């Protein structure tokens, strides 16, 4: 065993060299956002895990929503805010229920499903003014609330190539029947029957991979489009 800070790319590279590793697999978002995969690749190590730029899909909801809009991936109506006054005005103006989401990584607890406009305004204030979620909530996404069954998709990706994993359905609400605040996850079921997994892959995964390849920053790792 080697005691190493997983968010320190140089330390991970030195440990990988001392252990003569053939492949380094990085799962959590924080090391990826810290650029550990980038450092390892520069040092010549094969890495399963995206670059810091690509990892913003998980690290920034504002980034991922803009990416979806740019590439034509279906997504609910939304706006992004970093000041409370503008967020409050937008929430008061829309005529549909919303979800208020911290843009940054909040360990699965940054999405607040709101029943009323007042609930949404309180959620926005808690993030932008009170700072309840710290840095993660300095920017928020106010998104149209959708109803219906949820589905979690994941794909193993390497550049332009990908393979879909069996879909899952996770349950984040703290209490039964979908009640209570969101958590990091109370449980999940997989596989879940879907009509056309290949079509979902071409709709939600293919546009992301093509964009990053065209930018010269191909995605290598597990992509979790939602």
Q: Left if phi > 0, otherwise alpha if psi is -120 to 50, otherwise beta: which for 56?
A: alpha
> In whole angstroms, what separates CA 27 from the centre of its chain?
13
Q: Is the pLDDT of residue 87 over 90?
A: yes
Q: Hey, is 222 helix, strand or coil?
A: strand
The backbone torsions φ and ψ at residue 150, rounded to the nearest 5 degrees and listed phi first, read -100, 155
What is the pLDDT averaged over residues 31-48? Answer: 97
Structure tokens at 38: 């980038």
What confidence category does residue 198 fall into, taking pLDDT thresholds of 50, 70 and 90?
A: very high
* Cβ within 8 Å of residue 89, ≥6 positions away: none
Structure tokens at 203: 């709709």
Residues counted in the chain: 226
pLDDT digits (tens, 9 = 90+) for 122-141: 999 999 999 999 999 999 99
pLDDT digits (tens, 9 = 90+) for 152-196: 999 999 999 999 999 999 888 888 877 888 777 889 999 999 989
Q: Is the pLDDT of residue 22 over 80?
A: yes
* Cβ within 8 Å of residue 215, ≥6 positions away: none
pLDDT digits (tens, 9 = 90+) for 6-19: 999 999 999 999 99
pLDDT at 172 (0 to 100): 82
Structure tokens at 14: 């030195």
pLDDT at 149 (0 to 100): 83
What is the pLDDT averaged over residues 16-32? Answer: 96
Burial class (CB in 10 A: 0-12, 13-18, 19+), 64: buried
Q: Left if phi > 0, otherwise alpha if psi is -120 to 50, otherwise beta: which for 134?
A: left
The structural domains of the chain, ordered by start, are 9-48 (3.40.50.20), 77-144 (3.30.1490.20), 149-223 (3.30.470.20)
In this prediction the pTM is 0.89
pLDDT at 147 (0 to 100): 87
CA distance to 42, 46, 91, 126, 136, per residue, from 130 (Å) = 41, 43, 18, 5, 13
Share of the chain above pLDDT 70, in %: 100
Closest CA to 163 of 101, 206, 124, 192: 206
69 touches 139 (CB < 8 A): no
pLDDT digits (tens, 9 = 90+) for 200-221: 999 999 999 999 999 999 999 9
**109 or 120, which is more confident:** 120
């Amino acid at each position: 065993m080697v005691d190493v800070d997983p968010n320190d790319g140089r330390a991970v590279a030195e440990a990988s060299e001392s252990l003569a590793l053939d492949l380094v697999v990085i799962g959590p978002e924080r090391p990826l956002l810290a650029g550990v995969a980038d450092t390892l690749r520069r040092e010549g190590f094969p890495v399963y895990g995206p670059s810091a730029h690509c990892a913003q899909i998980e690290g920034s909801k504002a980034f991922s929503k803009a990416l979806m809009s740019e590439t034509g991936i279906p997504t609910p109506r939304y706006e992004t805010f970093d000041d409370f006054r503008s967020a409050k005005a937008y929430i008061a103006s829309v005529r549909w229920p919303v979800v208020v989401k911290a843009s940054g990584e909040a360990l699965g607890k940054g999405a607040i499903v709101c029943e009323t406009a007042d609930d949404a305004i309180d959620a926005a204030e808690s993030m932008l003014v009170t700072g309840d979620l710290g840095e993660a909530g300095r920017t928020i996404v106010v998104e149209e609330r959708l109803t219906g069954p949820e589905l979690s998709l994941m794909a193993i990706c390497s550049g332009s190539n990908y393979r879909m994993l069996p879909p899952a359905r996770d349950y984040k609400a703290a209490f039964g029947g979908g009640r209570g605040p969101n958590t990091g996850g109370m449980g999940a079921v997989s596989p879940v029957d879907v009509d056309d997994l290949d079509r979902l892959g071409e709709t939600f995964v293919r546009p992301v991979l093509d964009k990053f390849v065209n930018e010269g920053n191909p995605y290598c790792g597990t992509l979790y489009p939602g």
